[in-house]
Amino acid sequence: MNVVDPASSLARWRLVALLVAWGAFAAWCVSGIPPSVDLPAHAAQMQTFADVLRGNPEVSAWYEAHLPLGYGLPIWLFLPVTLLTNGAFAARLAAWTVLMLFPLAHLALARTFGRPSWTVVLGLPLAFNISYWYGFLPSFFALPLALLALALYLRALRGSGRVVGAMVGLALLSTATMLSHLVSFGALCVGVAALALTSDSRKRAVGLAAVGLAPPLLLCAARVLTLLSRAFSPGDHTVPDYGWGSHFNWLLRNYRPEGMLAVVCPLVMTAVFVVAYLRHRREEPRAPWVLFLALGVLFLLTPKALSGAWLIHVRLPVLAGFIALLLVDPARIARPVKALLLLLVVPSLAETARFHWRFKHEVAGLETLVAQPPPPGVHGYVSLVGNRSQGSRLVYLEHLGQWWTANQGGVGHHFFANGDHLPVRFRPGRSLPQWMDASSAEQLAPFSALLVYGEGPLPESFAGFEETERVGSWRRLERR
């Protein structure tokens, strides 16, 4: 007769309750109009991708679909959701899925090292990292996949469970990570290599790593070479920039209304766990420390901008932050310190919630206007107040009007279709203005309808449009 341990049963129910509460909080954060810079653009990509595949002639005249490697897996993965609903819902669901994957990935790593499940609470603020705020959906999606892949590799190294199954899982997860975002895949490769080279059974560890990483490495090799060559050749892409100082001050300098605790809280936790590990390193496994050091060094070596990608380095500290929470058994940390760490999580998430509420209140009215389809032709978005909001240094207003395309489809603009890294791009010979400054009638010429954000009189360049609806600070204009 099996006897169920009441303590373990209670712990499981507490974990379930935590995940349910977190899921509800995450759903509220991504509902409506969340403060996430690029998310509306990715949502518009999703909807346009679906319209092209459906054969919408108006959309297909401007855009075409292709399958780039190393970026965009969430757009393909959530295509069925987009086809059944729209790009706006699919993008929000994708963002919610990632917010749920972070604690699950943390839990998988915690169990690999025999850490208690409650430590998942400490990692919750890390889910709101720079990839969330900037809405880098492919990068955001790839981060927990990389953590899950590391957990599988560690299980295989320990020989626990079915090694063959773990290797198949690692190959699938590493490929999914690569197809989502190459930077996160690079971090995964660095982490696996560090674990393999410092393993007691190095030959076996290297062999397992080769089996798990070979498929995505072979798939992306040509793409990586192309991107590296772009870094050293002239073009209209972002100029390479190492940005040494920004490795230490970018997050603290730029996280303002979003909440300083979103940076301070993980830094404090990392410091506590590092100190505890150094004091008890002889009694603790070496693997978490190796991973933490490898990911930390990778962060310091990664440039700020390279091969057309921007803010590469600040996407990586979240991985090291999660690993830091596994460095030592929390039982070795004094109880008052553990209580303080847990208490820090509450105000950090409260700051995050407050900023979401303020932002949604500021842009109220947009949901009403995007609920109605645009007229035939090209529809666009202009902000009369610049691209910053709530005193933040992040450009939350940059793509905000692309929720119209994401909800209703049609021919929209400014969702990265001028690049080759996303599944939707302009057809050869076609292009539309991206960010518009509202001062040029020439820029506005292709558009039949506009969403305009900001109070005050319209510029003279808008003389060809008339206002058809106004809600809050939002106006809908249509060509006279």
pLDDT, tens digit, for every residue of 148-178? 999 999 999 987 667 788 889 999 999 999 9
Query: Residue 379: which residues within 8 A CB-CB, separation 6 or more?
Result: 404, 405, 410, 411, 412, 447, 448, 449, 450, 451
pLDDT, tens digit, for every residue of 209-254? 999 999 999 999 998 888 888 777 766 666 789 998 999 889 888 8
Do residues 179 and 70 make contact, with C-beta atoms less than 8 angstroms apart?
yes
Query: Can you tell me the distance from the alpha carbon of 342 to that of 352, in angstroms, rounded to the nearest whole number?
Result: 16
* Alpha carbon of residue 88 to chain centroid: 16
Name which residue leads in pLDDT, 2 or 308. 308
Residue 73 has pLDDT above 60, yes or no: yes
**Length of the chain in residues, anyone?**
480
pLDDT, tens digit, for every residue of 436-458? 776 678 889 999 999 999 998 89
User: Strand pairing of 424-426 and 309-310?
Assistant: unpaired
Residue 22 has pLDDT above 50, yes or no: yes
pLDDT average, residue stretch 351-356: 96
User: If pLDDT is split at 50, 70 and 90, which confidence band does 2 have?
Assistant: very low
CA triple 85-44-361, angle to 5 deg: 85
Residue 255 has pLDDT above 80, yes or no: yes
Give the largest Cα separation in the chain, rounded: 83
* pLDDT, the chain, mean: 93
User: Strand pairing of 63-65 and 424-426?
Assistant: antiparallel
pLDDT score at 152:
94
pLDDT score at 160:
60
CA triple 144-147-151, angle to 5 deg: 140
User: If pLDDT is split at 50, 70 and 90, which confidence band does 1 have?
Assistant: very low
pLDDT score at 149:
97
CA triple 222-189-292, angle to 5 deg: 150
User: If pLDDT is split at 50, 70 and 90, which confidence band does 105 have?
Assistant: very high
Query: Can you tell me the distance from the alpha carbon of 329 to that of 47, in angstroms, rounded to the nearest whole number?
Result: 46
CA atoms within 13 A on the CB side of 221: 6
Query: Can you tell me the distance from the alpha carbon of 62 to that of 60, in angstroms, rounded to the nearest whole number?
Result: 5
What are the structure tokens assigned to 209, written together? 């790593």
pLDDT, tens digit, for every residue of 400-422? 999 999 999 999 999 999 988 89
Cα torsion through 373, 374, 375, 376, rounded to 10 = -100
User: If pLDDT is split at 50, 70 and 90, which confidence band does 390 have?
Assistant: confident
